[in-house]
Amino acid sequence: MRSLLAPLILALALAALCCCEKGKGMSPLGIKREVANAFVRRQKRSDLYEWYFEYYKSPMEQMHERCENYPPCDFLSDQIGFSMAYNRFFGRY
């Protein structure tokens, strides 16, 4: 057991050093910020309809998010369905 402990500690120490090392202009995952921003950047909405629904959610979407943010409701919705789980924890919609 002791013979495995020393290499394990050494490997964990090297992994910690590699993970904690930060390069200039690099993200924690080792991707340059410009590349990461280009990948994540969303396309601008051109239509007024798309813009409206991006900022204003429907009541059903708001109820889904409310249930997802409450862990017991989220767990129960996987078991018996969203509408029954929502009714149990938050009443009728």
Report if residue 48 sits inside a domain.
no
pLDDT at 60 over 80: yes
Report if residue 91 sits inside a domain.
yes
Tens-digit pLDDT profile for residues 3-54: 777 777 777 776 666 665 555 555 556 767 766 666 666 666 667 777 777 7
36 and 6 within one domain: yes
3 and 36 within one domain: yes
58 and 93 within one domain: yes
65 and 90 within one domain: yes
Report if residue 85 sits inside a domain.
yes
pTM across the whole model: 0.45
Q: How far apart are CA 79 and CA 66, in angstroms?
A: 17
Domain of residue 89 covers: 53-93
Number of independent structural domains in the chain: 2
Q: What pLDDT does residue 80 have?
A: 94
Q: What pLDDT does residue 92 have?
A: 77
Q: How far apart are CA 69 and CA 90, in angstroms?
A: 12
